[in-house]
Amino acid sequence: MNLKTLSKLKPRERLLAIVTGVIAGLCLFYRAAVVPAAERLEHLREDVTLKTKQLAADRRSVAQRDAVLKAYERYAHLMQAVGTDEEETSKLLSTVADLAKAAGVTAVNLKPRPAETSGLAKRYQVEIETESTLEMLTRFVYAVEQSAQPLTVDRLDAKQEEKPDAPLKCMLRISRIAIP
């Protein structure tokens, strides 16, 4: 509407036209400026809440730094690889054979597996096939888990023949993680 058309209207119609224009302008201003600003403000509030939670978690981590370093120093020497892959695998084979013998488990077959690299660490693995009773096998697995070295039993497959006094045949995969 231009100014000439507005001046030709009656005062009441002119007032309605102006009020309608002001309301339309306010609606346009609200949709173009206020709503995006409110959405941005809400997004910023959510970011501040998230960052505050992250900061609190980071502060807890920093507060525990000394305890973590002390615990790391206690076990760091166990995680260090001091030789080549073959030497480390050989040590692991020897350790597993000694633990099996101490637990009374008969090692039928003991074979190394290739070392696997994962990030900074290397996983040395051996497979051992055994014949024993369930009690001896339990002692062996416990000895592996409680070993001075950080050893784990990754896999254990056991089967027993139908005979009542037949030995329990098992295949175990035992690994050690080291940082070269």
Q: Is 170 exposed, middle or buried (0-12, 13-18, 19+ CB in 10 A)?
A: buried
pLDDT digits (tens, 9 = 90+) for 36-80: 999 999 999 999 999 999 999 999 988 998 888 888 777 776 677
CATH of 79-178, one of 3.30.70.60, 3.40.228.10, 3.50.50.60, 3.20.20.140: 3.30.70.60
Work out the burial of residue 127: count CB atoms within 10 Å of its CB; fewer than 13 is exposed, 13-18 middle, 19 or more buried. Answer: middle
Residues β-bridged to residue 179: 80
Spatial distance between the Cα atoms of 147 and 49, rounded to a whole number of angstroms: 46
- The pTM of this model reads 0.58
Element (H, E) at 44: helix 35-63
Strands 106-118 and 121-132: antiparallel
List of residues 6+ apart from 80 with CB closer than 8 A: 178, 179
d(CA 140, CA 96): 9
Structure tokens at 109: 């077959």
pLDDT digits (tens, 9 = 90+) for 124-150: 999 999 998 889 999 999 999 998 888
